[in-house]
Amino acid sequence: MKGLILSGGAGTRLRPITHTSAKQLVPIANKPILFYGIEAMAAAGISEIGIVIGETGEEIMNAVGDGWQFGVNVTYIQQDAPLGLAHCVLIAQDFLGNQDFVMYLGDNMLQQGLTDFVERFEGSHQAHPQLGEPAPAGPAAQVLLTHVENPSSFGVAVLDEYGEIVQLVEKPKDPPSDLALVGVYLFTPHIHTAVESIQPSPRGELEITDAIQWLVDNGHRVTHDILTGWWIDTGKKDPLLDCNRLVLETIEPRNDGTVDDLSQVIGRVVIGDGARLVNSTVRGPVIIGAGTVLENSYVGPFTSIAADCVILDAEIEHSVVLERCQISGVPRLQDSLLGRDTIVTRSTGIPSATRLLLGDHSHVEIQ
């Protein structure tokens, strides 16, 4: 089985961060979102991975390389325009060949991983009929579903009495169920015929829901798994911060830096190589990147601070701070996402909580 990760989107919902950086490389607990997907595939035994890239492809290629660091081989597939998920399958046919594959959205985060999902699909193709009975045909596709409160915002699946999918409806006004497509798919090579047979949707894209519906309409079985654990689409600031919180709750404390006698480290905190805490308090779960300096500052729970940042006379919590940021004199920064090389300072005024979403190289002075 091969893997296909879709990382060609422009990330408009995370602007201004994604004006200068790929959304799939925004970090969760100081690790790019895309890396979690690659690691999940590697853990499921998938060693050949294709990554569909777009206008941010060079940055993604520089970050991932040939896949050696993950124990996989990576092939890059250029998508010149965002023409839909099924279009990604279409342009990846040479890479995928005649093999089954798992398709994964590069900005999604799953708690449960992919191993069980993949194993159940592979097992469904190993029939064990009773003596004299024909082997049942394995499914042509298997999708991951989850119950949602707002199904009209998703692709929604309708199941028959045997638990197999009979209909997919994209963002229905009157949802026939509350089972939404998560964004993880398993396919046999039958999907190639499907994507070649469908037409673009009204928005001009080849929809993967239309391709899966084509499989159903043409007599192929489409099965499903129900998601266990959390699933987050990290394409917006608040869900990204929520995901960062959930991942930080799983970290184990470690100190590879230096903490002076006037500083306090409370709870689960990871301090990177060469990081320094001077007269500061860190209350976990928190991760502090390599080379970062905290002086006369407080870092509160659910905060990730990347490498080579300087936090001086400041307070910050429930935030994600990317590389080389400088935060000075800000009494309370929370629920924020700061791009690389951002500078945030305070001049005068009454202290109050501040919430920010800043792109790379921003410079903000708070009155």
pLDDT score for 313: 96
Point out the least confidently predicted range of 2-16, 150-164, 289-303: 2-16
Please determine, for residue 178, whether its predicted confidence score (pLDDT) is greater than 60: yes
- Alpha carbon 286 to chain centroid distance? 20
pTM equals 0.86
The single-letter DSSP state of residue 285 is: S
pLDDT score for 192: 96
The CATH 3.90.550.10 portion of the chain extends over 2-125+133-246
The CATH 2.160.10.10 portion of the chain extends over 253-366
> Which CA distances in Å does 82 have to 44, 108, 154?
28, 17, 19
Contact 77, 85 (CB under 8 A): no
pLDDT, mean of residues 302-331: 95
pLDDT score for 121: 83
The two tokens of residue 167 are 């209909």
pLDDT score for 128: 46
Ramachandran class of 166: left when φ > 0, alpha when ψ lies in -120 to 50, beta otherwise: alpha
pLDDT score for 129: 46
End-to-end CA distance of the chain: 56
Residue appearing with tokens 């199941």:
159
pLDDT score for 361: 60
Is residue 347 very low, low, confident or very high in pLDDT (cuts 50, 70, 90)? low
Write out the H or E segment, with its range, that includes residue 121: helix 115-124
The two tokens of residue 108 are 């999604």
Nearest Cα neighbor of 79 from 105, 52, 118 is: 52
pLDDT, mean of residues 243-259: 95
CATH 3.90.550.10 corresponds to the domain 2-125+133-246: yes
Nearest Cα neighbor of 61 from 117, 7, 2 is: 7
Contact 292, 314 (CB under 8 A): no
pLDDT score for 319: 95
**3-state class (DSSP) for residue 119:** helix
Q: What is the mean pLDDT of the chain?
A: 87
Q: How far apart are CA 289 and CA 256, in angstroms?
A: 10
pLDDT, mean of residues 151-160: 87
Q: How far apart are CA 114 and CA 37, in angstroms?
A: 9
CATH 2.120.10.30 corresponds to the domain 253-366: no
